Amino acid sequence: MNRRADKSSEITFSTSTTGRRHAVVLGGSLAGLLAARVLSDHFDRVTVVERDSFPATASPRRGVPQANHVHALLPRGRLILEQLFPGLQPEMMAAGAPLLVMGKDLAWLTPQGWGVRFKSDLEVLTFTRPLLDLHVRRHLIADARVRVMENTEIVRLLAGKQPERIAGALVRVHGENSDKVVELQLTADLVVDATGRASRAPRWLEELGYTAPKETIINAHLGYASRLYRIPDDFSADWKCAFVQAAPPKRKRGGILFTVEGDRWLVTLIGGGRDYPPTDDAAFLEFARSLRSPIIYDAIRRAEPLSPIRGYRGTENRLRHFEEAIHQPENFIALGDSVCAFNPVYGQGMTIAAMGAMALDECLHKQKGAPETFARQFHERLAKVNAAPWMLATSEDYRYRETEGGSPTLATRFMHRYMNHVLRLSTFDASVRRVLLEVFSMLIEPSALFRPRIAVRVLGNTLGFVRPPKSAARRASSNTLAYDAASND
């Protein structure tokens, strides 16, 4: 997929104040690719600019270092991706990505005990992140309106003739096998920043005299370390993925074992509050053994490693409030991690990128006249998409004493207590567990956890009226794998 840039110093697509001739997307990871897909329905041409060259196979690349770690695509995200790229899911399954039934195939140790297993229709596709990116890219470049510029770095934004609009972006194209560098001015009717957490968009905007968005950072200092394993031939269990959650403030370690394409496991160990997981062989296993359950350690201790252990620490929650910035160009927007990046442990980032792309689609459909308010309208809409996942991630992060960036409010403390009860109920009550998983999957709003049916049970649990069946109580308090597949649906 090497679409080389023109060698001239300026690529000008005729633009107009209300026109939709050319859109430029900065960054070719998931948020950028999804934005490009949506924009191709509204613009004559879409150009995606990416610093890396894209691998021809499902392998990680420099610009997305997090791709070495478990990437869960929540059911809501999976549905949106299938809507944007029909056929994506069967293709990924044909490439070996397993489709799991969340309530049944996932062994999940919550801070309050093992989540009860139940029959459900909630499905989750599991894969390595590079496999997803490869398939999404293949779909996207099949669209003749989309062109991808690889090995191309964004340098800055270009000032427009009118103060309320930018003209496009200045980019630097690196020749693949030579030192030759060419600078190009890409003019555009709309510029979309999707360059991720480390986006320099705030600086680019300030350089042109616009207001940089305010930033909120809440950091629980989580570290990840991950490794691929071959699934042993004789391995057998009644689960396909295991998630051992940390239980801060005391138990700061967690881990995820994901069955992925190629009959492999991708194992990610996680430590919060600066208790970072190590990246050498023996210490990695020891860390796995120290989790609240040995389920992952028991699975991997004799399994054959297929990759080095790779670490990662850039996991802070970071929200850029574009919707509040006073002076912004009307034809510049940002989405994905560039606007809202989460502590990844809740698996929200890709789904939020997908929801952001859908919000962009809606705003472009609705936009009639008044283009001068487009950026604000979109950022306000996106802020609504981000609000609930941001609240979930940050309020849970305040359970770590080491978390920096504000302190828990009374409402947060109430949420912690309430959620403790919900999690406790979800260890034996399949109907509560179902609602919890649907909220977690972003299929329904978090407010569903406060519906009378659940609130009454929480109250009963608080007052000691709701007692788990004996088997469930044993299972919930066990720190070993002692659950039987409950089918109490």
Ligand X SMILES: Cc1cc2nc3c(=O)[nH]c(=O)nc-3n(C[C@H](O)[C@H](O)[C@H](O)COP(=O)(O)OP(=O)(O)OC[C@H]3O[C@@H](n4cnc5c(N)ncnc54)[C@H](O)[C@@H]3O)c2cc1C
By CB under 6 A, name the binding residues for ligand X. 27-32, 49-52, 63-64, 66, 69-73, 153-154, 194-197, 224, 312, 314-315, 336-338, 344, 347-351, 353
Q: Indicate the residue among 70 and 303 with the shorter CB distance to ligand X.
A: 70
Nearest approach in angstroms of CB 184 to ligand X is 13
Q: Indicate the residue among 60 and 344 with the shorter CB distance to ligand X.
A: 344
What is the number of other CB atoms lying within 10 angstroms of the CB of residue 14? 10
Q: Please list, in sequence order, all residues whose beta carbon lies within 8 angstroms of the beta carbon of residue 32, skipping any fewer than 6 positions away.
A: 25, 26, 48, 50, 192, 194, 195, 336
- Give the C-alpha separation, 70 to 422, whole Å: 26
CB 32 within 8 A of CB 336: yes
Q: Indicate the residue among 77 and 115 with the shorter CB distance to ligand X.
A: 77
Nearest approach in angstroms of CB 324 to ligand X is 20
How far is CA 309 from each of CA 74, 226, 268, 297, 456, rounded to the nearest angstrom?
25, 5, 9, 15, 46
Nearest approach in angstroms of CB 313 to ligand X is 9
Nearest approach in angstroms of CB 260 to ligand X is 12
Q: Indicate the residue among 50 and 323 with the shorter CB distance to ligand X.
A: 50
Q: Indicate the residue among 55 and 63 with the shorter CB distance to ligand X.
A: 63
* Nearest to 222, CA basis, from 269, 279, 276: 276
**DSSP state at residue 159:** E
For residue 249, say if its preceding peptide bond is cis, omega within 30 degrees of 0.
yes
Residue 86 CB burial class (10 angstroms; 0-12, 13-18, ≥19): exposed
CB 91 within 8 A of CB 28: no
Q: Indicate the residue among 224 and 297 with the shorter CB distance to ligand X.
A: 224
| Residue found by looking up tokens 């080095």 in the block | 308
Nearest approach in angstroms of CB 252 to ligand X is 16
Q: Indicate the residue among 383 and 486 with the shorter CB distance to ligand X.
A: 383
Q: Indicate the residue among 194 and 454 with the shorter CB distance to ligand X.
A: 194
Q: Indicate the residue among 218 and 458 with the shorter CB distance to ligand X.
A: 218
Q: Please list, in sequence order, all residues whose beta carbon lies within 8 angstroms of the beta carbon of residue 417, skipping any fewer than 6 positions away.
A: none
Position 139: which residue type?
H
Nearest approach in angstroms of CB 16 to ligand X is 27
Q: Indicate the residue among 48 and 295 with the shorter CB distance to ligand X.
A: 48
Nearest approach in angstroms of CB 292 to ligand X is 20
Nearest approach in angstroms of CB 186 to ligand X is 12
Q: Please list, in sequence order, all residues whose beta carbon lies within 8 angstroms of the beta carbon of residue 343, skipping any fewer than 6 positions away.
A: 220, 222, 315, 316, 317, 393, 394, 396, 397
How far is CA 454 from each of CA 423, 426, 459, rounded to the nearest angstrom?
11, 10, 9
464-473 in b/e form (b: 16+ CB < 10 A) is eebebeeebe
Nearest approach in angstroms of CB 198 to ligand X is 7
Nearest approach in angstroms of CB 233 to ligand X is 28
3-state secondary structure of 5: coil
The secondary element (H helix, E strand) that includes residue 350 is: helix 349-366
